[in-house]
Copies of this chain bind each other. A is one copy, B any other.
Amino acid sequence: MDARRTAIVLIEYQNDFTTEGGAMHGAVAASMARQNMLSNSAELIRRARAAGAQILWTPIRFAEGYREITREPYGVLKGIVDAKAFRAGTWGAEITEALPRSESDIMIEGKRGLDAFASTNLDFILRSLGIETVAVCGFLTNCCVESTVRSAYERGFTVHALSDCCAATSHEAHDGAVAYDLPLFAHVEPHRAFLDRL
């Protein structure tokens, strides 16, 4: 793996997920703890950045009132609206301070759906930078992480899904994605196995 052609795509490491008091933290706390995903992610970010990989953050944010979501949401977007999560300008929508930021990172604004490619210019940036390999991690293993992994595979990237840097709303949902779904579209592995080849 050529680190200069590799990017780490960090999905929704925002207080509403990551931090005590966040609107949806309770739903993911057990899964975060079991995988030790936050400190694994911190190590991943530090070491990948030091090796020369590009770090990209892809927060999800909505305007107050969620006008940019359909009037009658269902599925996962309804869950976000009902929880009043990820409202732009609130503490819950901010990226957690538990992870190391750097001026060399790129902030991808505009994510309003599941797949991080679908409503942003993530693909443009990755191609502009000559990125060929992406490693994806964050929240939720079987929702936004998996949608982004599927889309990255479909777009021709070499995709890695870092299983111990992800969390879901239940152990079953996390384990099912890791066992049956992600391997169809990605090299699924713990973050150290990935870092050791970077």
A interface residues with partner B (beta carbon < 8 Å) = 63, 67-71, 74-76, 106-110, 112-115, 118-121, 123-130, 132, 142-143, 146-147, 150-151, 153-159, 170, 172-173, 176-177, 179-181, 183-187
User: Would you mind naming 21 contact pairs between A and B with Cβ atoms under 8 Å apart?
Assistant: A67-B106, A67-B107, A68-B106, A68-B108, A68-B125, A70-B125, A75-B153, A75-B184, A110-B110, A110-B112, A110-B119, A110-B121, A118-B154, A119-B119, A119-B120, A119-B121, A123-B155, A124-B154, A125-B156, A127-B155, A176-B177
Check if A183 sits within 8 Å of B128, measured CB to CB. Answer: no
Is A112 a contact of B124 with CB atoms below 8 Å? yes
Copies of this protein, total: 4
Question: Which of chain B's residues have a CB closer than 8 A to the CB of A68?
Answer: 106-109, 121, 125
Per the bound structure, the CA–CA distance linking A187 and B72 in Å amounts to 13
Given A112-B110, A119-B120, A121-B112: A127 touches B157 (CB 8 Å cut-off): yes
Cβ 8 A contact of A173, one of B126, B129, B180:
B180
Residue from the set A74, A110, A154, A172 with the largest chain B CB neighbour count within 10 Å: A154
- Are B154 and A115 interface neighbours, CB within 8 A? yes
Nearest-CB residue, chain B, relative to A130: B132
Cβ A129 vs Cβ B180 within 8 A: no
